[in-house]
Structure 1
Amino acid sequence: MSLPVVHVARRGWCEPLAVAAGLNRREGALALLAGAGDPTAHGGRWSFVGCEPDRVRVGAVNDAAAFEALRDPKFSGGGVVGLMSYDAGARPATGARAEVWPDLMLARYPALLAFDHAAGEVRAVGRGANAAEAEAQGRRAADWLAEAVTLPIPPAPADAFTGEAPPEAYEAAVADVVARIAAGELFQANIARAWGGRLNGGRDPFEVFARLAVERGAAYGAFWRLGERALVSNSPELFLTFDPVTGRIETRPIKGTRPRDADPARDAALAAALAASAKDRAENLMIVDLMRNDLARAAVPGTVRVERLFEVESHPTVHHLVSTVTATARPGVGAAEVLEATFPPGSITGAPKHQAMKVIAGHEPPRGPWCGSLFGLGLAGDAPRGGALIASVLIRTASFQQDERGWRWSALAGAGIVADSDPRAECEETGAKIRALKDALSGG
């Protein structure tokens, strides 16, 4: 099957959040919003809005080929959004566990709006079997611009933000992992805490997303509604980009966190302390080495490079230590192979990855979408070989499932545990990481 014909029409600027608000109750409603800041920075140039996909796949995957569906011609021609749960990628290490979320969710969008923040324009992207079909889909996408609505910031949609276990249980888990590291079992593991609850009657997950996007938007903010499930992500972390034309692969693992402070002097001191922290730099370096190894599985030998090491990135509620690793893909390697070589992301597993995932499973219930990946393929209308891949790490993410009582939600936050981790300090770090979601859900 040949790749679809792509039609791109350019329109004047419109705020993507306003367009997403007009479409958010439609099936397959999708909003991938770049955070505020430099529009040329990673995650800062493009936002995408769409709805009503024409093909959807939701369900289990073959452990031996988790991303096999991306090789299916129905999903390899671009305009595709997917979500792989953490548990699907961890299963070779953990074995079968209770399913809390589908392994894989895939949807193909024949019509999409791509918002180019750098150029200040909107692309109405249509795909079809021929030029006429592609142009018709492009017109359908362009018509969505007229449905944009500017909503006031809604009040918090939940009354409570309840931990699923007391902080002391998390601190005990951290202490156990520190002891395992001391015994030589592993070097690092990312251990998470979980919170859960329900939205108040009549309230909707999009309201959580709107509160985040307006007040604390991140580089890889996302809302996705598919059937009786919805996802809200405020992730600052790039998992992967892959350009099928040049073969360039890039990953930007985050390891190392400090909370922001309202006082500029104290805030700058916290960022400086993070940059100078031997513990955080060592934690970051372990994951850089892990990602170098993962990328090498899909790369031309000798092309894996660490382009930037230990950069401090500042976000609305936290400072992060971020590094950048790149490689050139081997001939014949596509998006599916790049994802399979590297999933789950090293920054949210640990080192060695296989053993870290086993240790994580001993302390946590299944994670579901949290710390999996949300990815898009050819969303901006780029056509060669299905288009470019961009994938985020689903941290700072809440998942929602609808039942007869409304929407129930779950959210997690974790910390990388190393040999000199202090259990109480790691617990406090998870609190800093979950703060923006907590404020969006329950008002603080």
Structure 2
Amino acid sequence: MRKSLTAFVGAALVSGTALAQKVEFEQYTLDNGLHVVLHQDKSAPVVITSVMYHVGAKDEDPNKTGFAHFFEHLLFEGTENIGRGDWFKIVTANGGINNANTTDDRTYYYEVFPSNNLQLGLWMEAERMLHPVINQIGVDTQKGVIQEEKKTSYNNRPYGGLLLSIKENLYKKHPYRWQTIGKMEHIKSAELNDFVMFNEKYYIPNNAVLVVAGDFETNQAKKWIDEYFGTIPRGKDIVRTKIEEEPITEQRNATWEDPNIQIPMMITAYRTPSMVTRDARVLDMISTYLSGGRTSVLYKKIVDDKKKALQIGAFNYPQEDYGQYIIYGLPMGENTLADLLAEVDEEIVKLQKDLISERDFQKLQNIYENQYVSNNSTIEGVASNLATYYLLYKDINLVNNEIDIYRSITREEIREVAKKYLNPNQRVVIDYVPATATAQN
């Protein structure tokens, strides 16, 4: 349902073809605190084993950033019973695929195997949790990998600093203010014991949810889960304190220089509420209304009709503690960044004053119905949704009923939420411009 930054940059999971319908699942918690969710679907002979840990960039020390993302890589290095470099060999040799990803809020690992390899998938994830090998060789190797990723995906990539430019200006105290990949000087200077301690604190059963989805026998799965995960010791309880940001009460203006671009970018961003709120869903709809496709309001007006921009877009980026509502544009010809911002502001004011048309409202409803079908139409999608709704939203039943929230949103709510959050005195405006200096870290 949620438009994520991953979707924004075009990444996606590949998966099977199960038809979307009500997601049936069973859940329980082991004595060590590991929450288990089982979703049986025998429409295809595949099974996914996935573990989501409630640790992301926001859980890091401000002077030691990038650790959660580092562990996304490091925990593939090997375990006491899986040799260094053998993880991917074992998966591919058994007809599987695997991957992992990290956000500011959580880290997610998964394997997809033919259904007769469920035991292998469970054993491997239990090995990752109980017996990871964290040594100097692995740390040094992954330091090099992360440095190269930072260069190719951020420092040397056009507009690679877009999200960081927003984070640093939208947040002053909250850990959302840094990139998930962190600062390279923090990774370079980190010592082996720093990583050992981070692992012991966060990669524990009582900070995770295990999801098994696909073609499997429930009783057998439960026996293997108990055998492989049940004996893993519970970790110390994690105490989290949300860091509160002061409200933005006047427009913040900033400039960000990027040596990898020739065309400047207009960026404006608003700090918005947690993704668990109803208002976050309304903001989803507003972003779709403004820039969801070539017939959307901003694209049709600014790109097609007035030809003031090469590209224009608005997207809602909701997270566990706060969200960001981001609007960007690339000017065409002699048009300035200020010209684009004025055009965008004009449409937001219309949203704040007038109800959108019944036709546009019905179009939004249709889009979100289709997204619901799409998001629950694959085993990978269902597994990820079950983990996310349990761990971050604290309501696993949203896998089936979040669509009801979208269905219940009214045109009046769209107008009121636009009034509540999308005002000039509540935002950051960034001139993202070409530069000849070295890219910012």
Normalised to the residue count of structure 2, the TM-score between the two structures is 0.25
TM-score by length of 1: 0.25
Higher share of residues assigned strand: 1
Higher helix share: 2
Larger radius of gyration: 2
